[in-house]
């Protein structure tokens, strides 16, 4: 039996509201970033090829993390194929520009269920993948800053103490390590399983069967996929810097600075995630990137590089969504729609 008209109308209205909210949030985000970029009147000729390469690297990095989301669902009672899992993962990233970050979970679960995933399982998989990604980001940041070995210092004022100067990369490495270890404790299978159980208890119809089968091996694979993702995201920032032209593009980045940029992107994104009240970590990520890039690129070029990266990433997400949303059709019939009964071949053979 088909759904009643009022149900179909309600579902269509909810989908339209979600789409409008996401597009509005993304548009506002782009305008704010563009205004920030316009305030720094720096005449720089951007090279489109490098910007396109940055967008491709960004989507490749997200896809690496999306492979872990697929793997979590694969190790559950309701696995889905790789393509719909990656589609849901990539498109749902547009939801992070809506304040509160809950829209990512809504979009990802909503796009996974029509292909066979259980809604609660997809939501838990989203939380777990994100936390593992943050744990890997902290560890990648710590390793990158240690290997970079930059000796610059950052100064700030403390009331009652006056100016304080601290080693920039050492402070960043300690911050990344601390956050990485904290998230790593949370995603340890025994800890996360208990936390997920506590969270899901008040939700009707959600029991232990909704939890994916977490294990040490799954966590190790997640850290590997996520670390690859962070490397590609860092290379995306390097491509933006190369697009600025000048000496940096002509001579290439020193190996130490390249490693520091990868670490900075990881730490900056992690900081933006922790400050959850700002949509997409607006302002936090750019501040960390500018602090790391300024000593080598100069303040103005560092500002342009950080803000341009945000615009490139948003553009890449919009292009990916425009391609992927119509690319696949649900494999399961909608609830209430006419279904063709399964054929019992053994019964047919007996009757004949």
| Per-residue pLDDT tens over the stretch 115-152 | 999 988 999 999 999 999 999 999 999 999 888 875 55
* pLDDT beyond 50 at 94: yes
Between 96 and 325, where is the model more confident?
325
Does residue 339 lie within any of the structural domains? no
Binning pLDDT at 50, 70 and 90, where does residue 266 land?
very high
Does residue 341 lie within any of the structural domains? no
Share of residues in the chain with pLDDT > 90 (%) = 39
* pLDDT beyond 60 at 345: no
According to the model, what pLDDT value does residue 290 have? Answer: 79
Task: Locate 313 and state its tokens.
Answer: 């990433």
Provide mean pLDDT across the span 283-312: 78
Does residue 76 lie within any of the structural domains? yes
Binning pLDDT at 50, 70 and 90, where does residue 28 land?
low
Asked if residues 136 and 230 have their Cβ atoms less than 8 Å apart, the reply is yes
d(CA 289, CA 262) in angstroms, rounded, equals: 10
Does residue 322 lie within any of the structural domains? yes
Provide mean pLDDT across the span 253-273: 84
Between 272 and 198, where is the model more confident?
272
According to the model, what pLDDT value does residue 30 have? Answer: 47
Q: Residue 70's domain spans which residues?
A: 46-330
Does residue 25 lie within any of the structural domains? no
Does residue 340 lie within any of the structural domains? no
Arithmetic mean of pLDDT over the chain: 77
Does residue 154 lie within any of the structural domains? yes
Does residue 34 lie within any of the structural domains? no
For the whole prediction, is pTM greater than 0.85? no
According to the model, what pLDDT value does residue 323 have? Answer: 94
According to the model, what pLDDT value does residue 306 have? Answer: 83
Q: How many domains does the chain have?
A: 1
């Amino acid at each position: 039996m088909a759904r009643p008209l009022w149900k179909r109308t309600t579902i269509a209205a909810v989908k339209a509201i979600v789409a409008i909210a996401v597009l509005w949030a993304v548009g506002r985000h782009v305008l704010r970033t563009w205004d920030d970029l316009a305030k720094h009147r720096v005449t720089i000729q951007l090279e489109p090829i490098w910007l396109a390469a940055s967008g491709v690297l960004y989507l490749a990095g997200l896809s690496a993390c999306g492979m872990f989301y697929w793997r979590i669902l694969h190790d559950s009672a309701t696995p889905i194929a790789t393509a719909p899992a990656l589609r849901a993962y990539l498109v749902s990233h547009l939801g992070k520009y809506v304040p509160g970050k809950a829209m990512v979970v809504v979009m990802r679960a909503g796009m996974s269920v029509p292909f066979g995933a259980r809604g609660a399982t997809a939501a838990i998989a989203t939380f777990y993948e994100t936390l593992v990604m943050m744990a890997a980001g902290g560890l990648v940041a710590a390793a990158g800053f240690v290997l970079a070995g930059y000796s610059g210092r950052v100064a700030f004022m403390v009331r009652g103490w006056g100016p304080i100067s601290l080693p920039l990369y050492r402070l960043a490495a300690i911050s990344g390590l601390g956050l990485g270890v904290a998230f790593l404790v949370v995603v340890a299978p025994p800890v996360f399983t208990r936390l997920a159980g506590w969270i899901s208890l008040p939700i009707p119809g959600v029991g232990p069967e909704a939890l994916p089968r977490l294990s040490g091996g799954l966590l190790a694979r997640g850290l590997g996929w996520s670390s690859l993702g962070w490397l590609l995201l860092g290379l995306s920032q390097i491509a933006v810097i190369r697009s600025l032209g000048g000496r940096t593009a002509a001579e290439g980045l020193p190996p130490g600075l390249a490693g520091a940029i990868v670490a900075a992107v990881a730490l900056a994104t992690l900081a933006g995630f922790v400050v959850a009240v700002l949509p997409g970590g607006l302002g936090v990520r750019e501040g960390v990137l500018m602090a790391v890039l300024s000593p080598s690129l100069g303040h103005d070029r560092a500002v342009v590089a950080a803000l341009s990266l945000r615009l490139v990433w948003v553009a890449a997400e919009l292009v990916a969504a425009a391609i992927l949303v119509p690319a696949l059709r649900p494999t399961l019939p909608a609830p209430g729609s006419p279904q063709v009964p399964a054929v019992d071949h053994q019964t047919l053979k007996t009757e004949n």
